[in-house]
Amino acid sequence: MAAPLCALASRTQRSARAELAQRLAGSLTPSLARGQAGVGRRWCGDAARQKSTHFGFQTVPEGEKAARVYKVFESVAGRYDLMNDAMSLGIHRLWKDALLRVMNPQPGLRLLDAAGGTGDISFRFMAYTRSVHEQKLRRRARSNQTPSWQDITASYSSEGAGPPQSRAVVCDINKEMLKVGKGRAEEAGITTGVSWVVGDAEELPFDEDQFDVYTIAFGIRNVTHVEQALQEAFRVLKPGGRFLCLEFSQVSTPLLSKLYDAYSFQVIPVLGEVIAGDWKSYQYLVESIRRFPNQETFKGMIEEAGFARVQYINLTGGICAIHSAFKL
Amino acid sequence: MCSVLSRARRWAFAFHVLTRQQHTAWESDHHGRLYTGHIQTSPVQKALLAVGSGIAALQNPYRHDMVAVLGETTGHLALVKLRNRMRNNPEGYTILIERPRIQLSTLDLSWMSALPDGSLGREYLCFLEKNKVTPDTRANVKFVDDEELAYVMQRYREVHDLLHTLLGMPTNMLGEVAVKMFEAAQTGLPMCILGAILGPLRLSTSRLQKLTTSLGPWALHSGIHSRCVLSVFYERRWEQNLEDLREELNIEPPPFTLPANSKRPS
């Protein structure tokens, strides 16, 4: 990009300008370095824990990352779905539909939608299982055109049982996102089957062996300790349960990669400023995508957590990838 | 420059501009900040911001942050001219050095309300009260890539309310359009010019008539002939009589007084 003016200025000029800039503002925002030092001083007694991690392209103490991510999503929650449509030109819906097709859930399953936010995956899950169930009924009806009276009696008794109830639990660390999701559920008229739980993907508020499917869509890159989230996923899944992760990944072709980078860094923060009035949150989002490990590395991490049969599928040239694994 | 390059090389250049390394780690650590709240932007981003904020502001004129962004991304030349004008004026030069800010925290409200009627400070407070505005709602400058110009922009925003007092205009649509026309004539900021042209489209016919027949010409005339309003150190002139200040700045009193705003558009 065009060499920033500050890079051309000498260091002394910059510090003089910085002083003037401080007088310019009524309130001072501590620079990242000073904030880091402040946190470091507080954690002085525990040198071992003073590790740092990445927050987009910034480096922050580990303890700070979760709070900063929380603030990002708190501020974007209201416009989250609108921004997703604007940034991906609606393609994110196709990605999520692809995830459901890979999952191919049968009615009666229990889903944990981790980092579920506004509930996109859970709503699709409920709709998918409902349509699978309806298809089954239609097929049964078609093949049963002339039932005998014994068949009719049998169908009366089974009708009372009703369809096997699929259940989805949306778990997210951010209350604002869950609020938006609940509002969407009410508008769509989805009253049964979906529950909304506040929880940290690194420390899930569920017992082990609870869920048939665990999904995390566009959420795992925001987690501070990805390995811990994977271990938690392993813990709460039933034996035979399936782990599915939909996440931005590395683009395979260099040409597409350049265009994608240009689009991400030039257009997306601008969209964030114009539509949501928030440049910095969307700058963080595009930077965090670059920081996330690529498909093969992430596959290795999933295997480390104890999963078997790990596979990945690239979507849209590698812009997204679906990682799938089983707890055996 | 583009006329010299062949078409293929122009395309190659454009592609290169868009796709060369988008960032460096140092930039991201400091975000290339020149002042608090500064966000470093490339020319492509500025162009996109200008277009996007223009559309957003037209769709919803109450999105003041979008009007602000439009002003910042399109106003570079005008800001340079304004800054030079300020530098050439002794009072303006003092302002550029001392960088005063008009915020509730820096104003001594009890002292100002005790000032005599007709003084600048008293009339300013009355204006704030009647129209139910506060100087703290102005957005901070984000996209201006020069620290001094960013201050000039911020000063322009903070002086806007004082301009209302100086011109005697309320904060309804008609008053705002009149002030925008004055500012457009004075500063030449593209955002002001755009506002002065498009603002009247939202007025009722009777108000539009008032604007075109008396208010508009008066605002433009005052804007062209008056002294640079950004070069006035208002913080040291609170006790000065408003009429005296108007005379000093060469601003004629308004052709008629408009009623104070009953419903606030902003």
Model confidence pLDDT, tens digit, residues B24-37: 443 444 456 888 88
Q: Which of B27, B44, B147 sits opposite A266 (nearest CB)?
A: B44
How far apart CA A321 and CA A323 sit, in angstroms, is 6
pLDDT-wise least confident of A48-62, B84-98, B164-178, B241-255: A48-62
Q: What is the mean pLDDT of residues A301-322?
A: 95
Query: Residue A68: is its pLDDT beyond 80?
Result: yes
Of all residues in chain B, what percent carry a pLDDT higher than 70?
A: 88
Note the pLDDT of residue A63. 82
Q: What is the pLDDT of residue A78?
A: 83
Q: Chain A partners of B30 at a C-beta cutoff of 8 Å? A: 6, 31-32
Judged by average pLDDT, the poorest of A36-50, A285-299, B243-257 is A36-50
Give the residue ranges of the annotated binding site of A for S-adenosyl-L-methionine: 118, 172, 200-201
Q: What spatial distance separates the first Cα and last Cα of chain A, rounded to whole Å?
A: 49
Q: Which two tokens stand for residue B62?
A: 């109450």
Element housing A295 (H / E): helix A295-304
Q: Is the pLDDT assigned to residue A16 strictly greater than 80? A: no
pLDDT value, residue A29: 41
Residue A21 has pLDDT above 70, yes or no: no
Q: What is the per-residue pLDDT for B107?
A: 80
Distances from the Cα of A18 to the Cαs of A234, B79, B81, B225, in angstroms?
A: 49, 21, 24, 37
Q: What is the mean pLDDT of residues B148-153?
A: 93
What 3-state DSSP class applies to A29? coil
Cβ A23–B99 below 8 Å, yes or no?
yes
Q: Mark the binding-site residues of A, compressed into ranges.
A: 118, 172, 200-201
Who's near A244: CB < 8 A, 6+ residues apart? A99, A102, A103, A213, A214, A215, A216, A322, A323, A324
Residue predicted with more confidence, B173 or B260: B173
Q: Give pLDDT, residue A24.
A: 45
* Mean pLDDT (whole number) for A136-149: 84
From B21, B48, B146, residue closest to A267, measured CB to CB: B48
**pTM of the full predicted structure?**
0.75
Residue A49 clears pLDDT 90, i.e. is over it: no
The complex's ipTM? 0.77
The predicted structure's pLDDT at residue A190: 83
**Interface contact A137, partner B, CB < 8 A:** no
Distance between A42 CA and the closest CA of chain B, angstroms: 22
The predicted model gives A147-164 an average pLDDT of 73
Q: Tokens 């869509």 — which residue?
A: A217
Q: Is the pLDDT of residue A14 over 60?
A: no
Torsion over CA: B171, B175, B177, B182 (sign): negative
- What is the arithmetic mean of pLDDT over B138-167? 90
pLDDT attached to residue B31: 52
How big is the CA angle at B10 (ends B4 and B14), to the nearest 5 degrees? Answer: 135
- Angle, CA of A37, A40 and A44, to the nearest 5°: 135
Identify which of A5, A267, A287 has the shortest CB distance to residue B28.
A287
Mean pLDDT, residues A310-328 taken together: 95
Find which of A199-213, B181-195, B201-215 is predicted with most confidence, using mean pLDDT: A199-213
Mean pLDDT of chain B: 83
Strand partners, B241: B119
Pairing of strands A58-61, A237-248: unpaired
Q: Give the C-alpha separation, A54 to A294, whole Å.
A: 16
| Residue B125 to residue B162: CA distance in whole angstroms | 10
Burial class for A187, CB neighbours closer than 10 Å (0-12, 13-18, 19+): exposed
Q: What is the pLDDT of residue B213?
A: 85
Of residues B122 and A151, more confidence is placed in B122
For residues B86-104, give the mean pLDDT: 90
Given a cut of 90, is residue A264 above it in pLDDT?
A: yes
**Nearest chain B Cα distance for residue A25, angstroms:** 7
Residue A160's pLDDT band (cuts 50, 70, 90): low
**Mean pLDDT on A220-240:** 94
- Give the count of alpha carbons within 13 A of B26, CB side only: 4
Any B CB within 8 A of A303 CB:
no
> What is the nearest CA distance from A257 to chain B, expressed in angstroms?
9
Nearest CB neighbour to B49, from listed A27, A265, A273 = A273
* pLDDT tier, B182 (very low <50, low <70, confident <90, very high otherwise): very high
Of B33, B39, B150, the CB nearest to A279: B39
Q: Pick the more confident residue, B196 or A33.
A: B196
Average the pLDDT over A61-81 and give the result: 84
Predicted local confidence at residue B32, as pLDDT: 62
pLDDT for residue B9: 79
Least confident span in A64-78, A151-165, B154-168: A151-165
**Binding-site residue ranges of B:** 160-161, 164, 176
Contact B240, B119 (CB under 8 A): yes
Residue B63: how many other CB atoms lie within 10 Å: 17
A277 interfaces chain B, CB cutoff of 8 Å: yes
pLDDT band at B154 (very low <50, low <70, confident <90, very high): very high
A320-326/A110-114 β-pairing: unpaired
State the pLDDT at residue B136: 76
Q: Is the pLDDT of residue A101 over 60?
A: yes
pLDDT for A59: 85
A82 touches chain B (CB under 8 A): no
- Higher local confidence (pLDDT), A26 or A195: A195
| Chain B residues within 8 A of A57 when measuring between CB atoms | 23, 25, 28-29
CA A25, A29, A31, A37 torsion-angle sign: positive
Q: B31 CA to chain A: closest CA distance, Å?
A: 9
Contact A274 B105 (CB under 8 A): no
Q: What is the pLDDT of residue B184?
A: 93
SS (H, E, C) A34-95: HHHHHHHHHCCCCHHHCCEEEECCEEEEHHHHHHHHHHHHHHHHHHHHHHHHHHHCCHHHHH
Confidence band of B21 (pLDDT split at 50, 70, 90): low
| pLDDT over 70 (residue A19) | no
Integer Cα distance of B157 and B72 in angstroms: 11
pLDDT at position B14, please?
66
Residue B266 has pLDDT above 80, yes or no: no
B99 chain-A contacts, CB cut-off 8 A: 20, 23-24
**How far does A14 lie from chain B, in Å, by closest CA?**
8
Q: Are strands A320-326 and A211-217 parallel, antiparallel or unpaired?
A: unpaired
Q: Would you say A74 and A176 are in contact if contact means Cβ atoms under 8 Å apart?
A: yes
pLDDT score of B20: 60
| Cross-chain residue pair B150–A28, CB shorter than 8 Å | no
For range B43-54, the mean pLDDT: 93
Q: How many CB atoms lie within 10 A of CB B136?
A: 11
Say whether residue A74 is in contact with chain B using an 8 A CB cutoff.
no
